[in-house]
Homo-oligomer: A and B are copies of this chain.
């Protein structure tokens, strides 16, 4: 209860959710209002709106971050991008004035946008919007974006390749949850799904970006010639799979449940992504560079096995939950946390053969 004598009341949104007292279920009166206005709006648009005159449009600079989640890193990336663009304007080689910036933060509709919006930097040099929906399809009008950024998002597949859970398929992925150390058919099924998803992704972005607009992708990668089982990602997924198999052996879950579960994520290689971009045909590759963030995070944090466990949980808990339910998933990640020392050890080993190149930076320009 507030006893402030002089409260400044600023934001009082309608009731959320869809419960008894929600605005969703109690907006009959406002709907009546909309009905009454409907004819008037139609009339005025018909008689007064001069569309031929108004489609001369904005000079705002529009940026999209695809797969923003609830924001913390996304804000850092956007600020970084804005700095670089502003610097260009300030250097005096631009023929036009500094534009205003509009940034679109995109993620799945099920993403926690309320938290994203609550996390927005209070003072920010751009107008912000949230765009819910899958980036495996169109999200923006034609030629409406000038710059696209996506970091650690495009490894998510739109779905698990169907043949993985078909007992009669050579790609049946028994006893595993990923393609790491799995038969070649499984790897191929994953690669084919990634190629399909990337084709849709590039096609959509090619429509949304203006000619000359750029897209920067930061993604996990497998260096040329290194097997997936030696890449830190592969090690982690294998580790999670083996915990699940332990749980199956103990009777906590059935083996069939593990057999029918596969992680919808895929790690590409520089060669593969280059070919997919070329096949699409709408983009030129302006830069492609391998880097190694794992090494950086190892050195900056001695307890990184545990940090990685938590990071993995924050990013992937949802996909386990929807297959195994909350209780099993909770147990799985608690076991992962308990065994993080062992995971650290295995990761150390994988570093010994794969110190660099597990992150890929790709800069594309719309032709």
Contact = CB atoms under 8 A, between A and B. Distances in A.
Contacts of A45: 81, 84-85, 88, 214
Interface residues of A, number: 162
Interface stretch (A9-17, A242-250, A267-275): A9-17
Nearest to A75: B34
Contact of A72 (B5, B27, B81): B27
Q: Among A5, A21, A22, A23, which residue has the most Cβ atoms of chain B within 10 A?
A: A23
Interface in A80-103: 80-81, 83-85, 87-89, 94-96, 99-102
A168 interface: no
Interface of A, secondary structure class, is mixed
Interface string A160-193: 1010011000000000000000000000000000
A96 B35 contact: no
A353 interface: no
A48 B365 contact: yes
A13 B318 CA distance: 7
Contacts of A156: 12
A193 B275 CA distance: 61
A46 B36 CA distance: 53
A302 interface: no
B141 A101 contact: yes
B9 A214 contact: no
Given A27-B315, A33-B359, 20 more contacts: A1-B323, A7-B322, A9-B160, A9-B264, A15-B317, A16-B115, A21-B314, A29-B293, A30-B315, A34-B151, A35-B296, A36-B361, A101-B141, A102-B144, A104-B129, A110-B118, A113-B113, A120-B132, A127-B138, A128-B132
A352 interface: no
A28 B109 CA distance: 24
23 contacts: A9-B159, A9-B322, A9-B323, A15-B314, A22-B314, A23-B315, A29-B308, A33-B151, A36-B291, A37-B361, A40-B289, A40-B363, A44-B287, A49-B85, A50-B212, A52-B96, A57-B59, A57-B210, A60-B143, A102-B141, A110-B118, A117-B130, A130-B131
**Nearest 7 A/B pairs, CB to CB:** A16-B112, A60-B141, A26-B314, A45-B84, A100-B141, A54-B212, A13-B111
B287 A48 contact: yes
